[in-house]
Structure 1
């Protein structure tokens, strides 16, 4: 699985991130797992066509010492579909920019 990983988090960073992710992305039903909704403006052609599969998400996992993001764009409406695929360069950059903005806002240095 392709991932974007931020490791060597301090315990206080973990607590701060957990609070922020809980507030912004809610409970996924699995502890430490979050669904980051993908901006509709950057969907691939097939993702835009698959309105029944929307919205699309990146999965994020927060552990005490690391935060990782799958680079697979998923739908929560279907287990398998042609619209689920690894992020395009635009989508990948969007995710990294979103995460960097959260870390900056929370004053977490990497």
Structure 2
């Protein structure tokens, strides 16, 4: 799995991130998993065509030591589809800017 990982979180950082994700993303079925919407303007060609699979998300995994941002763009309606792909350049840049921006914002 390709992902962007920020490790060695301080407890204060973990608590701020947890509060932020609880209020600004969809919680996953497992603790510490969050789903963040990908802006439609960043959808790839196939993702735009697959209207039944929209919207698309990237997953965030938060634990007390680290936070990881998956670079796999997924739908929550299907487990397998051709539109579930690793992030293209624009999507990857968005995820990295989102991740880095959280620490500036919080």
TM-score range, shorter chain: over 0.9
Structure 1 partner of 2:31? 31
Give the TM-score, by structure 1 length. Answer: 0.93
Q: Quote the Cα distance in structure 1 between the aligned partners of 2:26 and 2:73.
A: 18
Matches within 5 A, 1:8-87: 8-87=8-87
Deviations 1:66-97 (A, max 9, x none): 00011110000011000000000110001111
- Cα RMSD, aligned residues only: 0.8
Question: Secondary structure in 2 aligned to 1:80?
Answer: coil
Paired residues, number: 106
Structure 2 gap segments, 5+ residues each? none
Give the TM-score, by structure 2 length. Answer: 0.96
Q: Quote the Cα distance in structure 2 between the aligned partners of 1:103 and 1:88.
A: 23
Structure 1 gap segments, 5+ residues each? none
